Amino acid sequence: MRRLLVRSLAAVVVALAVTAGLGAASPASAADEPVVVVGTEGTYPPFTFHDPDTDDLTGYDIEVVKAVAKEAGWRLTFVESSFDSLFVALDSQRIDVIANQISINPEREAKYGLSTPYTYSRGVIVTPSDVDDITTLKDIKGLRAAQSTTSNWAGVAKEAGAKIEAVDGLSQAAKVLEQGRADVIVNDNIAILDYLATSGTKKIKIAGEAEGQQTQQALMFRKADSQLKEQADAALQTLRDDGTLKRISEDYFKADVSIEDGGEAQAEGRAGRSALDVVKDQAWPVLKALVKVTIPLTAISFVVGLALALGVALARISPRRLLSVPAGVFISIVRGTPLLLQLAIVFYGLPEIGLNFDRYVAAVLAFSINIAGYAAEIIRSAILAVPKGQTEAARTIGLDYRQTLRRVVLPQALRTAVPPLSNSLLSLVKDTSLASTILVVEAFRVTLNAANESTEYLALLILLGFYYWVVCWILSIGQRRLETRLDRYV
Amino acid sequence: MTTPLVRVSGLTKTFGDTAVLKGVDFEAAAGTSTVLLGPSGSGKTTVLRSLDTLEIPDAGVVGIGDVEVDFGTLPAQGRDREARLRALRAQSGIVFQQHHLFPHKTALENIIEGPLVAQRRPRDEVVAEGRALLAQVGLEDREDSYPSQLSGGQQQRVGIARALAIKPRVVLFDEPTSALDPELVGEVLAVIKDLATQGWTTLIVTHEIRFAEQVADQVLFLDGGVVVEHGPPAQVIGDPQQERTRTFLRRVLHPGA
């Protein structure tokens, strides 16, 4: 019994180590250059987005932070995530700097280390095209504003008396506005121009200036990392002096937004493409994410989860209260709390008490614990469903506890457990999409990024749904084969 | 005078509020067959299961060969307790009313499981022995059959072979024919009778009175958790001294009368 528990635990540790190896796919760092992890949305063109042709991460903010890194001697790793998650990620040391048009305001200056500004911009108010009576911030009082909740623009809208409808990024906000689910957006002038140019939409328009909202954007570090901030400031000064910033800005905006009054920014947008083209372009990247991240994440979590579940189930059945009570509590907690919450606790919460896991490890840990809670009950009832006479017969021919379990009870319990365990596995395949909330770039995140970028939500989400369905269909065929095999002696 | 192979004394066992055994004493010599008779609830099955430690008596002594366990002084838990119970368990093999064969193993695999896994003996040796046992119970051509592919009588005969395979000092039969269709009872009883003539020591709980008369060297009649009467079958079945024994035999031999 104890040895079985120890073995289960050992299996867990090994699997975690393996995933840690997987997660450490970030480039090996040269000894002398510090690795700086950059957090960015990757879905906020023209500042941070994926080039539709090459799928490479690019944009004004990306090029600026790359130029800064070159000056400061950093090696960069990029992590993409929704805007709201960037702040938690910075706090929990998942990332070291945010390059995502972070507007300077007093609250942020108090809490974080902000570089000198590299963008000067202003806010605008966006409304549906057929609305004429909203032109100033005063007019949005009481209206529904679609905003990323932690963004500076959400603060501006809230200040003006609007109700915030939380979204994941600008193109989602625009969709929501077009669909009539919100009344207004307050956002950066350049970003809006880019969206209008790219999407070609006539349904929404810039209705007016968010007066008094001339803002400056900067790189944001943790307050404690003052050395990184100072290096960034020095690098920005050099880049300003040698004209690099101006050149990058003019590439994107035909104006220098890195200084005040550098001219009126323009956005060309990117060529609009048909939904079919977008789906064709994304079919491979999404499939790649499914095969390289979603499926391994599912497989490893399921195996680790089952090993844990066996230990928990045996502890639960044990006559010793020292084992059965904790097992019962564990099951109750896992089944009584949302998976999303469990992920957030492992990834964002545990670092506060010094347990800082890589995002892939954190995902495997949370998913395995979740599977363990549910599968433990399945295994427990499957074991109890094996007739008592089987255990008695095994004991009378001299088998000990472990031999009885391994050779007599578990093979028979397996037949009972396969259908419900298959259900758990199918659920897990799809539940891994929740890992997108803890910076894991799996199939759902890749699809959502592409959808935010192209604004082709329906087509891309159906594509992803189709992929998930195929994986589950293949698994259910496997389940049927396994059941047939196990039925051979019944 | 030699010590009897099986020695049971002062065995008591309570399930909840019900005292099932109230002090059972008997002995059985090596190479003999002992049949336990008695109405349901008399405790005969509990006695049998106690010998194989499937039940742990509250008090009393069970001795088989050199192994003796005093349940009154047995520690409540720990290695010592387990070691003693394991030693006693190894002395006997049991055949269950519902064969309890392992459904996921073939007839031969069922038989060699004990010697191969628990006793860690070499495979070719235990396979040869297993085949011999299958032949002994008349199933030499069914070694690859799963239990579900065998008739009830065949299943029970494999069950007997499995019990014999661990080379026990005593073979215990817990109502081995009660769950069988009547036409299958004969083949199983024939195998048990063979064992008795080959010198195996057997303890048999059964309701087959005629069979008991033929095979038993000793009959124990239990009622209310004690041995009411014991002796050769001619005495206990042929000429019972106790009223309770007579009542029981009347009911069993003339049901519906």
Whether the pLDDT of residue B169 is over 80: the answer is yes
**Which chain B residues are closer than 8 Å to A394 by Cβ?**
102, 113
Q: What is the pLDDT of residues A235-274, one digit of tens each?
A: 999 999 999 999 999 888 888 888 887 778 888 777 767 8
Kindly indicate the confidence band of residue A454, based on its pLDDT and cuts at 50, 70 and 90. confident
| Cβ contacts of B16 within 8 Å, gap of 6 or more | none
- The b-or-e profile of A164-203 (16+ CB within 10 A means b, else e) is bbebbbbbbbbbbbbeeebbbbbbbbbbbbbbbbbbebee
Measured between beta carbons, which residues in chain A are less than 8 angstroms from residue B147?
489
Residues 6+ apart with CB under 8 A from A70: none
Of A390, A396, A400, the CB nearest to B102: A390
Of A399, A412, A489, the CB nearest to B118: A399
Over the stretch A280-295, which tens digit does the pLDDT of each residue have?
888 999 999 999 999 9
Rounded distance between C-alpha atoms, residue A380 and residue A377, angstroms: 5
- What pLDDT, on a 0 to 100 scale, did the predictor assign at position A394? 96
Test mutation, A396, A400, A418, A485, chain B, max B CBs within 10 A: A396
pLDDT of residue B167: 95
What string of DSSP letters covers A3-25? Answer: HHHHHHHHHHHHHHHHHHHHHTT
- Is the CB of A397 less than 8 angstroms away from the CB of B93? yes
Given the candidates 3.90.180.10, 3.40.309.10, 3.40.190.10, 3.40.250.10, the CATH classification of the domain at A29-118+216-253 is: 3.40.190.10
* Chain A residue closest in CA terms to B105: A489
Residues of chain A in Cβ contact (below 8 Å) with chain B: 387, 389-390, 392-400, 403, 407-408, 411-412, 488-490
Task: Tell me how far apart the alpha carbons of residues B189 and A127 are, in angstroms, rounded to a whole number.
Answer: 93
Q: What is the pLDDT of residue B257?
A: 61
- Chain B neighbors of A488, CB-CB under 8 A: 146
Nearest CA in chain A to B114: A397
Asked whether the beta carbons of B32 and B218 are under 8 A apart, the reply is yes
Q: Which of B53, B147, B166 sits opposite A397 (nearest CB)?
A: B166
Q: Which fold has domain A2-12+275-487?
A: MetI-like fold (1.10.3720)
Q: Assign a CATH topology to domain A120-215.
A: D-Maltodextrin-Binding Protein; domain 2 (3.40.190)
Is B68's pLDDT higher than 70? yes
pLDDT digits (tens, 9 = 90+) for B232-255: 999 999 999 999 999 999 988 887
What is the pTM (predicted TM-score) of this model? 0.80
What is the structure's pLDDT at A149? Answer: 87
Question: pLDDT digit string (tens) for A159-214?
Answer: 999 999 999 889 899 999 999 999 999 999 888 988 888 888 889 999 998 887 78
Would you state the pLDDT for residue A478?
A: 95
Mean predicted confidence (pLDDT) in B224-231: 94
> What's the pLDDT tens digit per position in A324-346?
999 999 999 999 999 999 999 99
The predicted pLDDT at position A16 comes to 52
Which residue from B90, B96, B101 is facing A398, i.e. has the nearest CB? Answer: B90
Q: Quick check: A174 and A185 in contact, CB under 8 A?
A: yes
Would you state the pLDDT for residue A461?
Answer: 95
Confidence of residue A25 (pLDDT cuts 50, 70, 90): very low
CB B8 within 8 A of CB B27: yes
CB contacts, 8 Å: B114 with chain A: 397-399
% of chain A surpassing 70 pLDDT: 93
Model confidence at A128, in pLDDT bands (50, 70, 90)? very high
In which band, very low, low, confident or very high, does the pLDDT at A20 lie, cut at 50, 70 and 90?
Answer: very low
The residue among A318, A326, A317 whose CA lies nearest residue A378 is: A317
Closest Cβ opposite residue A490 in set B117, B119, B148: B148
Round the average pLDDT of chain A to a whole number and report it.
89
Shortest Cα distance, chain A CAs vs residue B48, angstroms: 12
**Set of chain B residues whose Cβ sits within 8 Å of the Cβ of A382:** none
Q: Which residue has the tokens 């084992």?
A: A323
**Residue A1: pLDDT band with limits 50, 70, 90:** very low
| Residue in A389, A400, A319, A2 with CA at minimum distance from that of residue B89 | A400
| pLDDT per residue as tens digits for the range A366-421 | 999 999 999 999 999 999 999 999 999 999 999 999 999 999 999 999 999 999 99
Whether B98 sits inside 8 A of A412 (CB atoms) is: no
Strands B201-205 and B170-174: parallel
Which pLDDT value is given to residue A355?
Answer: 87
A384-394: pLDDT as tens digits: 999 999 999 99
pLDDT of residue B202: 96
Give me the mean pLDDT over the A149-160 stretch. Answer: 91
CB contact under 8 A, B89 and A398: yes
Fold agreement (A29-118+216-253, A120-215): yes
Three-state DSSP state, A163: strand
pLDDT above 90 (res A439)? no
Within 8 A of A490 by CB-CB distance, chain B residues are 103, 148
Cβ contact (<8 Å) for A397 and B52?
Answer: no
Instruction: Note the ipTM here.
Output: 0.93
Please say if the pLDDT value at position A12 is more than 60: no
Q: What is the pLDDT of residue B220?
A: 96
pLDDT tens by residue, B130-162: 999 999 999 999 999 999 999 999 999 999 999
Q: Which residue stretches of A386-456 are H helix?
A: 388-396, 401-403, 410-431, 443-454
Residues 6+ positions from A116 with CB-CB distance below 8 Å = A218, A233, A236, A237
Please tell me the distance in Å from A308's CA to the nearest CA on chain B. 25
From B106, which residue of chain A is nearest by alpha-carbon distance? A489
Task: Output the six-digit token pair for A304.
Answer: 């680790």
Annotated domain spans of chain A: 2-12+275-487, 29-118+216-253, 120-215
Give contacts of A396 with chain B, Cβ < 8 Å: 52, 54, 89, 92-94, 163
Which residues of chain B neighbour A392 with C-beta distances below 8 Å?
A: 54, 96, 100
